[in-house]
Structure 1
Amino acid sequence: MSTGILNPDTLLSILAGITVGGGAALLVASLVGMPRKERTGPSPARRLVDFARRRGAIAGIAALVVLAATRWPVAAIAAAALALFWDKLFGGAKEERAAMERVEGLAAWTESLRDTMAGAVGMEQAIQASMRAASPALRPHLATVIDRLRAKTSLPIALDLFAEDLNDGSADLVIIALKNNARQQGPGLRDVLSELAATARDEADMRRRIMAQRSGTRRSVKIVVTVCVAFPVGMALFNPSYVEAYQTVQGQGVLAVVLAFFAAGLAWLRNLSSVPTPARLLITAGGAR
């Protein structure tokens, strides 16, 4: 608009500056790199690059669409950030479902192991036999345990590695019971496994109820976010005089403050919707066992 300070040339200059600055930052990161260390997984720089590659195109398109519709650089940056972190804000259901399936599979595997060992079968043979009826969430990890046992790895060490692969506090309880029985060969393992299986099933039921309650909350939050994004964009398109104040630098500053409060509210809701996982009991320091 003629009365606004942010004309199209200024907007294009800001967008070009952001693009050039981001490209220069990525170039410096690729040239300098990170110090080489012994790592068990990808480096933080590698994870950042992978994340940007997966979500960068969507974030760029969202920013361009919002910028073209509103001519508000702050809104374009906010749209890009929302597209980048959409899974972080609203994608917790998938992780919770996977954790619930893992706990359910752990309960079924514990019962299968208990019944197999009741026939006077050794623990190593029982672990190998239990893989056939194991859930898909546990089967790859059990296959790794069996391969380690066939490679002459001792049973306590193989169980420790199994616990690290699962990385679950509920699984640690079962593995501790198995390790104690493997070392001491004492009675009562059947009763202990029965109690642990019942506990795991109770935990899975609790997680299922929590997921059912929070699915409606997540859906409501998505609706609120969609309306809050669509309303100002629609006003900028169909009634630009109503949002004319945001065309100025001062208006963009006020919009930035409003969006900051909005982002803080989303982060708070995300924190409330997350389910704390049970604390690990089998934790190794520096890989030592």
Structure 2
Amino acid sequence: MTLSHWGAGTVTALAVVCGTMCGLGLMAIGYGVVRRSVREHQPGLGRRLVGRLPADWTPRWFVIAVSVGLVVGALTGWPVAVVLTTIAVLTLPGLLGPDRAAARRTERMEALAAWTEMLRDTLSAAAGLEQAVLATADIAPAALKVEMRTLADAVRSGRSLPAALRAFAVEVDDPLADVVVAALVMAAEQQAGQLAPLLGELAESVREQVAMRQRIDAGRASVRTGVRVTVIVTLGMAVGMTVFNRPYLDPFNSWTGQMVLAVVGGLFAASFTYLSAIGRVDEPVRLMTPATAGTGSGLGGRS
């Protein structure tokens, strides 16, 4: 369905639709930037849906994906190609690339275990909990360096240790960090004894979790490799036929062919989504969230 197959009215209508969509998209992006601070205090259905999108789907990347989709659509003359290409540009980099999120989380878990052991050793030297936190902040592992510096600054500025620890847990955003911080908060608020042995057990538990996570990541690596091979072969075949054997794809030039292409593309997208989902690990329930950190609920109630 090249441009020569369409009438002048159809081409004009398609150009108007594409231009309108691009204009509305740019307006939406601009509005989102301007109203971002307001939306943070007004959670709604739209904000919840946006919150579920991958973090790397930035407005700039979205504009690039739409632009690439429009270029492919103009070259092939297939409206469905615009949608499929846009979705592919948005999703395939994260699907085919290395699992940086898993590697980053494993690194932070190892850093958390090392910091817990530092606290245990410092407390064993008869230092108080607040002094131990301040002493270990300067020598914390690199993966937690920024969060530890923020924690130390909060304590030095006069903020209570339990409140600063809760904010630290929210910033680290890891279920295992919640467990460690819960023990520290209870010790700070209730003057619990035997904290050093407890921290030693927690550090050992975290290291066991790290080892288990590494085994899981090794299993997921084979799944991701299979996904990469499937996606690359499929896309390579489609691009090769489009470039070197275009007449073979002439049936897609009709509107019926476009509907078939949409169905086929949807099936491939569903299969790729399923392959990605079976390699995903569900995170445990968080003990600390921004709400509980602000109210101090569930961990002593005082801040």
Contact 1:173/1:281 (<8 A) preserved: yes
Q: In structure 2, what is the Cα distance between the partners aligned to 1:31 and 1:39?
A: 14
Q: What CA deviation, in whole Å up to 9, does each residue of 1:83-114 have, x standing for no partner?
A: 02234544571111111111100000000110
Match of 1:22?
Answer: 22
> Does residue 166 of the first structure (1) align with residue 172 of the second (2)?
yes
Displacement of 1:250 in angstroms is 0.3
> Does residue 198 of the first structure (1) align with residue 199 of the second (2)?
no
| SS of residue in 1 equivalent to 2:185 | helix
Displacement of 1:58 in angstroms is 4.9
Q: In structure 2, what is the Cα distance between the partners aligned to 1:38 and 1:30?
A: 14
> Does residue 77 of the first structure (1) align with residue 78 of the second (2)?
no
The total of aligned residue pairs comes to: 287
Displacement of 1:13 in angstroms is 5.3
Structure 1 residues 63 and 206: alpha-carbon distance in aligned structure 2, compared to 1, 3 A threshold: farther
Q: What CA deviation, in whole Å up to 9, does each residue of 1:13-64 have, x standing for no partner?
A: 5355223323134336646975963737999589999713134225523552
Match of 1:119?
Answer: 125
Displacement of 1:80 in angstroms is 1.7
TM-score by length of 2: 0.82
Q: In structure 1, what is the Cα distance between the partners aligned to 2:214 and 2:146?
A: 24
Q: In structure 2, what is the Cα distance between the partners aligned to 1:284 and 1:252?
A: 47
Greater alpha carbon shift after TM alignment, 56-65 vs 253-262: 56-65
Structure 1 residues 255 and 12: alpha-carbon distance in aligned structure 2, compared to 1, 3 A threshold: farther
> What amino acid sits opposite 2:109 in the alignment?
V
Q: In structure 2, what is the Cα distance between the partners aligned to 1:82 and 1:249?
A: 22
> What amino acid sits opposite 1:255 in the alignment?
L
Structure 2 unmatched ranges of 5 or more = 297-303
Of 268, 278, 284 in structure 1, the residue corresponding to residue 284 of structure 2 is 278
Of 98, 102, 107 in structure 1, the residue corresponding to residue 104 of structure 2 is 98
Match of 1:147?
Answer: 153
Match of 1:37?
Answer: 38
> What amino acid sits opposite 2:199 in the alignment?
L
Structure with greater contact order relative to length (CA < 8 Å, sep ≥ 6): 1
TM-score by length of 1: 0.85
Contact 2:187/2:195 (<8 A) preserved: yes
CA RMSD, 1 decimal:
3.3
Displacement of 1:275 in angstroms is 1.5
Of 56, 72, 83 in structure 1, the residue corresponding to residue 63 of structure 2 is 56
Contact 1:8/1:71 (<8 A) preserved: no
Q: In structure 2, what is the Cα distance between the partners aligned to 1:260 and 1:110?
A: 48
| SS of residue in 2 equivalent to 1:115 | helix
Contact 1:5/1:249 (<8 A) preserved: no
Displacement of 1:230 in angstroms is 2.2
Q: In structure 1, what is the Cα distance between the partners aligned to 2:175 and 2:200?
A: 17
Structure 1 residues 41 and 160: alpha-carbon distance in aligned structure 2, compared to 1, 3 A threshold: farther
Greater alpha carbon shift after TM alignment, 260-269 vs 109-118: 260-269
> What amino acid sits opposite 2:184 in the alignment?
L
Match of 1:261?
Answer: 267
| SS of residue in 2 equivalent to 1:285 | helix
- 1:156-235, aligned counterparts within 5 Å? 156-235=162-241
Contact 1:117/1:123 (<8 A) preserved: yes
Q: In structure 2, what is the Cα distance between the partners aligned to 1:28 and 1:132?
A: 44
> What amino acid sits opposite 2:259 in the alignment?
G
Match of 1:244?
Answer: 250
Q: In structure 2, what is the Cα distance between the partners aligned to 1:249 and 1:92?
A: 38
